[in-house]
Amino acid sequence: MGAGFESFGLELPLVQAVREMGFGEPFPIQAMAIVPLLEGRDLMGQAHTGAGKTLAFALPMLQKIDHRLPGIQGLVIVPTRELALQVAREFEKLAKHLRVRVAAIYGGASMRLQMEKLRNRSCNIIIATPGRLIDHLDRRTVTLDKTSFVVLDEADRMLDMGFIDDVRIILSHVSRNHQTAIFSATMSNEVVKLAHRYMKNPLRVFVDTDEPTVDSVQQKFVRIDEGGKFPTLRALLNNEHITKGLIFCETKARAGALAQALREEHYKALALHSDLSQYQRDSAVHSFRIGLTNLLVATEVAARGLDIPKVSHVVNYDMPDEPKMYFHRIGRTARAGKPGIALSLITRQDEDSFKRIRKMTSSDLREVADGLLPESRVGSKFLLPPRPSQGQAAQRLSSGRRPRRYNRRERSFRRNRRR
């Protein structure tokens, strides 16, 4: 192991855990964020998914925890249950030589089991989604008066999903003298406003600017009409060496139907979207992670924040309306500087957004001629549920494109709709 992590002043058990996890030199976000966080600074960190930001805040938080003291000393707030489980796993790996206890608190799981875990384990750190954490605060099964270190992870996505009021409620339960860190893929005006309200003279660590950086992703696209998408996808799957492919659809109905159609064609494919049960979502991600399934058909909301290694290809079956979402998607491959391939199916509906994408990057986007895909003209009776029109998509964007949230007077309804 290089001198990088050892030079931060981390305790030996943490350095040993990092070494056992196979990390060598620190990533840029880790090199810039760990020492200020150890020193107690508030920090705003911008880095894309897969840039190593979990270690950037987990290592300082774990070092600051005193397991002999009662109460929850560290809190990480994340937008989705998948990310809560993922971050909790990273914390547990890093804490394997410590006596620090970590718990993941998220909706869709048994409240009773979570209450028992919190009561019996005397947790020092919790990783939580906003809605379920508020439920625990309401029941007083969680108290945050001893919390000294708070992290908001994927803050931009948290605000996009309408969690701003929940975040404010949660932070009102934390003592004033706490350290705060915000990590986000983009620093929108809303994220900056949130930081100014809850942080004290924060240090800004921007690993990525607004200019997307996908230099290690080979980007290809095919111009096709909607009816030709499925046979073209089938041709791409048969001609590309896709060891692990993440396929994006615009809606839950389309993701589910496409995964089913791929299975009928004998591909190992599973769907990932928010209408699935927690068990189904966990099972799909686990199968994809360990290689039992090599195709995961997902909506953007369901897949945001997932850190799955060795994704060889990202396929945009449906192109996103916003160019930056395109770069978030294709950034799921080519992790840690490794090469990856992004394949996009472009219809007439996508031309305007595709032009904006090409203006936002200097990378070469190579067109794959339809004739180079021998199976792309093979007919198919399969049709997905229709995509929203551009007008409908614009209306969804202007209205926030987020699940409706409810105020505290409507809590009984919201408990049944936890993410």
What CATH number does the domain containing 138 carry? 3.40.50.300
> Is residue 415 assigned to a domain?
no
Tell me the per-residue pLDDT of 137-147, one tens digit each, with 9 for 90 and over.
999 999 999 99
Is the pLDDT assigned to residue 321 strictly greater than 70?
Answer: yes
CA distance 63 to 97: 12
Tell me the per-residue pLDDT of 8-20, one tens digit each, with 9 for 90 and over.
889 999 999 998 8
Is the pLDDT assigned to residue 323 strictly greater than 50?
Answer: yes
Regarding whether 247 and 200 lie in a shared domain, the answer is no
Domain boundary among 184, 206, 228: 206
When pLDDT is averaged across residues 299-304 and rounded to a whole number, the result is 71
Residue 370: its pLDDT value, please?
Answer: 59
Residue 276: its pLDDT value, please?
Answer: 86
Tell me the per-residue pLDDT of 155-182, one tens digit each, with 9 for 90 and over.
888 888 888 889 999 999 998 889 999 9
**Tally of domains within the chain:** 2
Selection from 54, 39, 26, 9 nearest residue 201 by Cα: 39
CA distance 11 to 33: 17
Residue 215: its pLDDT value, please?
Answer: 62
Tell me the per-residue pLDDT of 182-211, one tens digit each, with 9 for 90 and over.
998 777 788 888 888 888 888 988 875 444
Regarding whether 238 and 200 lie in a shared domain, the answer is no
CA distance 218 to 206: 25
This model's pTM is above 0.85: no
pLDDT band at 292 (very low <50, low <70, confident <90, very high): very high
Encoded tokens for 187 = 């620093």
3-state secondary structure of 45: strand
At a CB cut-off of 8 Å and minimum separation 6, what does 131 contact? 107, 163, 166, 414, 415, 418, 419
CA distance 282 to 138: 27
Regarding whether 270 and 139 lie in a shared domain, the answer is no
Longest alpha-carbon distance in the chain: 67
> Is residue 403 assigned to a domain?
no
Regarding whether 165 and 274 lie in a shared domain, the answer is no
Regarding whether 264 and 323 lie in a shared domain, the answer is yes
Is the pLDDT assigned to residue 212 strictly greater than 50?
Answer: no
Regarding whether 250 and 222 lie in a shared domain, the answer is yes
